[in-house]
Amino acid sequence: MSVNIENIEAFVYVIHYGSFNKAAEALYLSQPSVTARIQTLERELNCRLFDRQGKQIQITEEGKRFLPYAQQLLLTFQKGKLHVNQKKSHPEEFRIGCTISVSNYIIPELLPRLKRRFPNTQYKIVTGVTDDIVGKVVNKEVDIGFVRNVNHPHLQSVKFYEDPIRLYTYKDHPFLHGERPTVEAIAAQPLVFFECGALDWLRIHRIFENLDQPPNIQIQTDNSEMAKKLVIQKTGICFLPGVCVQQEIREEKLFSIPLAETEGISMQTNVVSCHGEHAPFIETILEFGKELFANTPVLSNLS
């Protein structure tokens, strides 16, 4: 059974004002409209709520039993409306959708800053692929999204950072000594191949497309954490986005091999939101981004 909150509102107002006419005035309705709502509620509850004697009305025993529940339902609904309206200007819960890489490597650095700037706000993080997150922002299931470089007619999209894709090796690998390796030499090495599905990643495949022999791909994975751990354990070498290797670079567990063929290959991450919404949060996020890029050599800002 579904009960219309407007019918409950009419019932509570009639009790409060003592007549259908006064309740109608308070609700900016006609008296027949209020009567119709009460009659509908009586049908939904399968009982009479009022005894009518001419212009006099008297609440029935069933009406008296239902009244406290009706008042509680109306109060809960009004509190919900107030919460929603407050959220439009300054949300008590800020919902962020993001890709796995952003959730792993950016969000843990970003959230403490947001908490300092907006201490009374709670945060909810959901992860997914770019298309899913864009859909959630459009449908207002999340407030903002961190996604691959996209443009959508219903969203504003701001460049956040650019993540260069480079070849990484473990300590003491022969490529760390001597001249830059050739594509042929890289292809001959055991390769751990991280595949993230982004269009930019196809450019890594094209590095090897003119070789006589295909690259020696030993392991393929869509998990960057697994890929870099396999490299550290000397299972192979791997092309990886810079955002996921910051700690390992600092700890000298992974090392970047400069290659002319990978210069300019990167994955761009944008912040998307509905037009004109959540500006204070987005400004704080972009401020954080500038600091992050200034202190992290493997990343670069596009703004």
Residue 198: pLDDT over 80: no
Q: Would you give the DSSP letter of residue 92?
A: S
Residue 176, C-beta contacts closer than 8 angstroms, at least 6 positions apart = 169, 255, 257
- For 35-82, the pLDDT digits (tens) are 999 999 999 999 999 988 777 889 999 999 999 999 898 888 877 776
The pTM assigned to this predicted structure is 0.62
Assess contact for 198 and 148: CB atoms under 8 A.
yes
Residue 80, C-beta contacts closer than 8 angstroms, at least 6 positions apart = none
Q: Would you give the DSSP letter of residue 175?
A: G
Question: 293 versus 24: which is more confidently predicted?
Answer: 24
CATH topology of domain 162-266: D-Maltodextrin-Binding Protein; domain 2 (3.40.190)
- For 165-192, the pLDDT digits (tens) are 999 999 999 999 888 899 999 999 999 9
Among candidates 36, 40, 30, 33, which has minimal Cα distance to 4? 40
Residue 264, C-beta contacts closer than 8 angstroms, at least 6 positions apart = none
Tell me the CATH class for 5-89: mainly alpha
Tokens of 247: 């700690």
CATH topology of domain 93-156+272-295: D-Maltodextrin-Binding Protein; domain 2 (3.40.190)
Which residue ranges does the chain devote to CATH 3.40.190.10?
93-156+272-295, 162-266
Highest average pLDDT, of 19-33, 65-79, 214-228, comes from 214-228
- When pLDDT is cut at 50, 70 and 90, the band that residue 295 belongs to is low
Strands 93-98 and 144-148: parallel
